[in-house]
Amino acid sequence: MTQSQKHSSFSRTFSADLGVDLGSANVRVISRRTGEIFTEPCVVARDRRTREVRAIGREAEAMIAQMPESIVEVRPVRDGAIADLEAAEALLRSMVRRARNPLALRRPRIVLGAPCELTPVERRALILAARSAGAREVYLLAAPMAAALGAGVPAAERGGKLVIDIGSGTTEIAVVTLSGVVHARTVRIGGARLEEAVQSWLKKKLDVEVGLGQARALTEQLGCALPRDDLRSVTIDARDRISGELRVVRIKAEELREALAAPVAALVNAVRTVLEDSPAELSADIAQNGIVLTGGVALLTGLAGLLTRELRLPVAVAKEPLSAVVAGCGASLDRLDLLRALHLEARASIRHVEPLAAH
């Protein structure tokens, strides 16, 4: 083992540093020391009368289900931005406490994945939430760049590559290079939009209603962007819109593809727009290096194939699409030189990404 490797190993052993992906649906935290990823639903249970935070994550979901009269469900993040600062601070504080290295003598340095198009006010809210949760320094790293790092893109490719990170609330579409994000766009299309489309289709076509959780399960089990080779179908209990009674309905994969067609088409069009607006000198690179999909919706059956067909570009799904952003945030903690290359600069004890501009 070389001297630098020994130093790196020693530094990691006593490191408190963390990478954080604060999404609309889930928050993921990775420990620099162990590489372990901690995941919780991004939800807080707050007392309706006192406004006191009663539970966080899975415990909050259980409490909300058991005590709906006295507990308010709070979603701290909406469309990638802080919607409730107090709840976000409580959530991050809990996750930092859970993931923090007990051997560390200093407070953690945190790299936090952030949507490209957040306003300065929204960026400051993210930084404040992380600082209030106990961070000594906060870095905001553009989520597509973090996803690219987590998927191994910069290390493996030269020139530009298109990264599409499809979360619950938003999709980040960005051209990334070894030096950072060159061009990016955030669109309000994600897993939640797909679930709402399923709910709307069931109401219109079958006169039944289901909750978001049931719509999410249907999307995961049966959802597809291209016709499936099999004839899969599922049977569910749904509430009749007229009588209010439960009735059994059977849904085919092809029907669910029809339900998802509009938001999927909107996603494809958004990607096409980013490609058309990308710097001309990177077009050849993207044609050669292709597209990488990350985020939960990247697992939608046939989505990669549909993008390949419509855009005539090679499309691949990241090996671990759900954890690509947080893995990239964690990886950057070992590469201060990489953070400098990505144009992060220090202002007092707060570090942040410079505003991203289309060239």
Q: How many CB atoms lie within 10 A of CB 310?
A: 15
Count: domains in the chain: 3
Question: Does residue 310 share a domain with residue 272?
Answer: yes
pLDDT reported for residue 95: 93
Domain hosting 35: range is: 3-41+77-143+324-353
pLDDT reported for residue 343: 40
Question: Does residue 205 share a domain with residue 87?
Answer: no
**Residues 240-273: b if buried by 16+ CB within 10 A, e if exposed:** eeeeeeeeebebebebbbebbeebbeebbebbee
Q: Is residue 207 part of a domain?
A: yes
Question: Does residue 301 share a domain with residue 229?
Answer: no
Among residues 175, 192, 183, 193, the alpha carbon closest in space to that of 292 is found at 175
Does this model's pTM top 0.85? My answer is yes
Asked if residue 158 has pLDDT above 70, the reply is no
Question: Does residue 104 share a domain with residue 28?
Answer: yes
Alpha-carbon gap, residue 319 to 316, rounded angstroms:
9
Of 20-24, 106-110, 127-131, 177-181, which range is least confident? Answer: 177-181
Question: Does residue 81 share a domain with residue 139?
Answer: yes
Question: Does residue 328 share a domain with residue 245?
Answer: no
More confident residue, 160 or 209: 209
Question: Does residue 313 share a domain with residue 214?
Answer: no
Over residues 120-139, mean pLDDT: 90
User: Using 50, 70 and 90 to split pLDDT, how confident is the model at 254?
Assistant: very high
Q: Is residue 58 part of a domain?
A: no
Q: Over the Cα atoms of the chain, what is R_g?
A: 21
- DSSP three-state, residue 161: strand
pLDDT digits (tens, 9 = 90+) for 162-175: 999 999 989 999 99
- DSSP three-state, residue 172: strand
Question: Does residue 342 share a domain with residue 273?
Answer: no
Q: Is residue 245 part of a domain?
A: yes
Over residues 139-143, mean pLDDT: 90
Question: Does residue 196 share a domain with residue 103?
Answer: no
pLDDT digits (tens, 9 = 90+) for 227-245: 987 788 999 999 999 899 9
pLDDT reported for residue 354: 34
User: Using 50, 70 and 90 to split pLDDT, how confident is the model at 130?
Assistant: very high
Q: Amino acid identity, residue 322?
A: L
Alpha-carbon gap, residue 119 to 171, rounded angstroms:
16
